[in-house]
Structure 1
Amino acid sequence: MIGWEDVYKVVAAMVPLYVALMLGYGSVKWWGIFNPEQCDAINRLVCYFTLPLFAVEFTSHIDPFEMNYRFVGADTISKLVIVVILAFWANCSSKGSYCWSITSFSLSTLNNTLVVGVPLLKAMYGQTGVDLVVQSSVLQGVIWMTFLLFVLEFRRSRVSISSATNDGEQEKDVEGNTDDAGVLCSRPSFWYLMKVVGMKLCMNPNIYACVIGLTWAFVANRWHFEMPTIMEGSILIMSKAGTGTAMFSMGTFMARQEKIIACGTSLTIFGMVLRFIVGPGAMAIGAIAMGLHADVLRIAIIQAALPQSITSFIFAKEYGIHAEVLSTAVIFGTIVSLPVLVAYYAILEFVR
């Protein structure tokens, strides 16, 4: 049975994150220390240095040969269930939307595994919680963020090529067809899309971080290598700032918004339902399918209910697709996540 001491450990792990968030908020909103250009510079520091090195640190210390493959399978099943449902809705429903399918996928599957997940699950379930949430982070960084980039690039390429075709221009990497939507239609070829997406991935250090960390983990555990002290120290000196600077940067972003709920009440509720109910619900389906039980089952569901991934908002802003919805999900979702996650923690103690 969960006790007040357990709840306190969770609160004690989360409150420092909110302190960093409020310091970032106050430095812009109340004290005027940073201007918008300086805030963007802080965000770039987080995106290109502290968070990637933070990811390298955690992924390089996992043992790929001891990964919980039932947990990995449950995580994969949960996301595939959501992908199938959204694809069916987008293609078969009169109200289906490709753009909203992408946004819904982000809202229901991509969570803040490292910044919030690591300290939270460590307080709840110790090292087991940390190990599993890092495994989830590796999958998210290597597979699902790549998938998100692909569909975003597909959408943008399709729109830009269609515009060029309408202006009388024809790309050499375009496959032409005629509709019944007798008008020449075009879509980018598969290899053209792969080239564009590959270039984007090469510019994303967070993808590199997961791949490098996972590669080192395989090599180190296969041949029993230890990371040289000088290398580990070089990573740690920046990665230790990962959690704090990420939350601080989120606070500066929050302070620059006219209002926290930027997309309106109805879309905010929609986003919160996807994040805190649909995502964990899909994970419960995957967990049951893979036969998870006890703490592993609880960790699987709780990590699926973590607040929204910051990276998903960055992508939404870059590709011009519902950025206000994702920003609200990141900011408002992080604020309300503490009571929601404590509630999940308490309720799941009754699940065996």
Structure 2
Amino acid sequence: MFEVFLQTLPFFAIIGLGYFAVRKGVFDEAAAAYLTKFVFYFALSAMLFRFSANLQLSEILDWNVIMAYLAGTCLIYALAMGVALLRRQSFEITAFEAQCAVIGNTGFLGIPMLTLLIGPQAIGTLMLVLAVDLIVFSSLIVILVNVARSGRLTLMVFRIVGLGLLKNPMIVAMGLGLTWSSLSAPMPAVFNEFLVTLGAAATPGALFAIGASLASKSVENLSVSGWITFCKLVLHPLAVAGFALFVFDIGAFEATIIIAAAALPVAGNVYILAQHYRIAPQLVSASILISTAISILTFSMTVGWLAAL
């Protein structure tokens, strides 16, 4: 485990660098926001496009992998919702607690870190995890909040969900890359070099942006945010591991990737949604901050355990 910790430490060190850059005034919050946009819309999209353009959908589409990750995620989602409802939280807050309990930072942290730790061959399975998070659960939170506020499910809600998916650069990049691959079109050397150079900025840029975004977050309602962190860093990977290893026929390599992805800390995009809908942003903020800090140890422990299997 210590060797894995040393391998992951540089990634978290860059996150820490971004955090202290904002805290010490070297970077302000506006600069951090623009850096996040650069990574989200350009660097990470270039990386995802290049990876997916070299993959065949038929090679990476594994329904057992999807179902194992989806089943484990749904189980913890339901558990987090049940606990929130028992505490008599509103349905809107309940939905966001459940979202924090299962949506990890796959895009900004998981893909850069796991592709470097495990290798580019991990990207196909990571794309399946990212697709489930974005298509299923990012859509679900929008549906639940709008139904809770209006009391009914309308076509407008599905329009909002559909447009959100179509405007997400990660989904667009993966879709265009797989389309390129299906056409068997050769990648021009100049274009490939452009993607390599731009995509190389994704890993340090994403990690620095995560740290910069954490600088404005604070710890409030420690008992609830601590419970959410426990769900995300411990229960979620255990649930996914249970379904991957004992229910679905999944290879050890794919199981390792989806379990490791489940062990990632709470994603920053949950906070963006919480701010947009004005639903428990302080709780979401605390959950992101705590889970990211603790994941320095828990993620290494998870990956170390998986390596020993």
TM-score (norm 2): 0.83
How far does residue 340 in structure 1 lie from its aligned partner after superposition? 0.8
- Mapped to 2, the partners of 1:152 and 1:49 lie a distance apart of 30
Please tell me whether residue 256 in structure 1 is matched to residue 213 in structure 2.
no
- Mapped to 2, the partners of 1:238 and 1:203 lie a distance apart of 20
| Aligned positions of 1:178-327 closer than 5 A | 187-217=151-181, 219-220=182-183, 224-257=184-217, 259=218, 262-287=219-244, 288-292=246-250, 294-327=252-285
Match of 2:298 in 1: 340
Q: Is the 8 A contact 1:55 1:114 kept in 2?
A: no
1:149 paired residue among 142, 145, 148: 142
Tell me the secondary structure at the aligned position of residue 290 of structure 1: coil
> What amino acid does structure 2 have at the position aligned with 1:79?
T
Q: Cα 1:350–1:50, aligned 2, differ >3 Å: closer, same or farther?
A: closer
- Mapped to 2, the partners of 1:152 and 1:57 lie a distance apart of 35
Q: Cα 1:81–1:256, aligned 2, differ >3 Å: closer, same or farther?
A: closer
CA offsets 1:304-347 (integer angstroms, 9 cap, x no match):
11122222222222222222222223233222213212222333
CA offsets 1:9-38 (integer angstroms, 9 cap, x no match):
x345423322322332232222x2333333
Match of 1:42 in 2: 35
- Mapped to 2, the partners of 1:132 and 1:200 lie a distance apart of 23
Pairwise CA RMSD: 3.1
* % identical equivalent positions: 21
Q: Cα 1:41–1:298, aligned 2, differ >3 Å: closer, same or farther?
A: closer
The structure whose residues are more often helix, as a share, is: 2
CA offsets 1:202-249 (integer angstroms, 9 cap, x no match):
4433332333334334x14xxx33333333333333322122222222
- Mapped to 2, the partners of 1:65 and 1:274 lie a distance apart of 33
Q: Is the 8 A contact 2:78 2:98 kept in 1?
A: no
More off after superposition, 264-273 vs 200-209: 200-209
- Mapped to 2, the partners of 1:25 and 1:128 lie a distance apart of 31
Match of 1:101 in 2: 94
- Mapped to 1, the partners of 2:285 and 2:164 lie a distance apart of 22
Q: Is the 8 A contact 1:58 1:134 kept in 2?
A: no
Q: Cα 1:321–1:58, aligned 2, differ >3 Å: closer, same or farther?
A: farther
> What amino acid does structure 2 have at the position aligned with 1:243?
T
- Mapped to 1, the partners of 2:187 and 2:216 lie a distance apart of 41
Match of 1:69 in 2: 63
Tell me the secondary structure at the aligned position of residue 111 of structure 1: coil
Q: Is the 8 A contact 2:81 2:95 kept in 1?
A: no
Match of 1:59 in 2: 52
Q: Is the 8 A contact 2:112 2:202 kept in 1?
A: no
How far does residue 107 in structure 1 lie from its aligned partner after superposition? 2.1
Stretches of structure 2 that go unaligned for 5 or more consecutive residues are none
- Mapped to 2, the partners of 1:138 and 1:84 lie a distance apart of 20
CA offsets 1:137-182 (integer angstroms, 9 cap, x no match):
23323333233333344445x2xxxxxxxxxxxxxxxxxxxxxxxx
Match of 1:80 in 2: 74
2:126 paired residue among 124, 127, 133: 133
Stretches of structure 1 that go unaligned for 5 or more consecutive residues are 159-186
Q: Cα 1:209–1:13, aligned 2, differ >3 Å: closer, same or farther?
A: farther
- Mapped to 1, the partners of 2:195 and 2:300 lie a distance apart of 32
How far does residue 200 in structure 1 lie from its aligned partner after superposition? 3.6
Larger Cα-atom Rg: 1
Number of aligned residues: 307
- Mapped to 2, the partners of 1:189 and 1:107 lie a distance apart of 23
CA offsets 1:43-66 (integer angstroms, 9 cap, x no match):
333333333333333333333212
Q: Cα 1:283–1:76, aligned 2, differ >3 Å: closer, same or farther?
A: same
Q: Is the 8 A contact 2:109 2:206 kept in 1?
A: no
Q: Cα 1:80–1:298, aligned 2, differ >3 Å: closer, same or farther?
A: same
Match of 1:111 in 2: 104
TM-score (norm 1): 0.74
Match of 1:167 in 2: none
- Mapped to 2, the partners of 1:96 and 1:323 lie a distance apart of 15
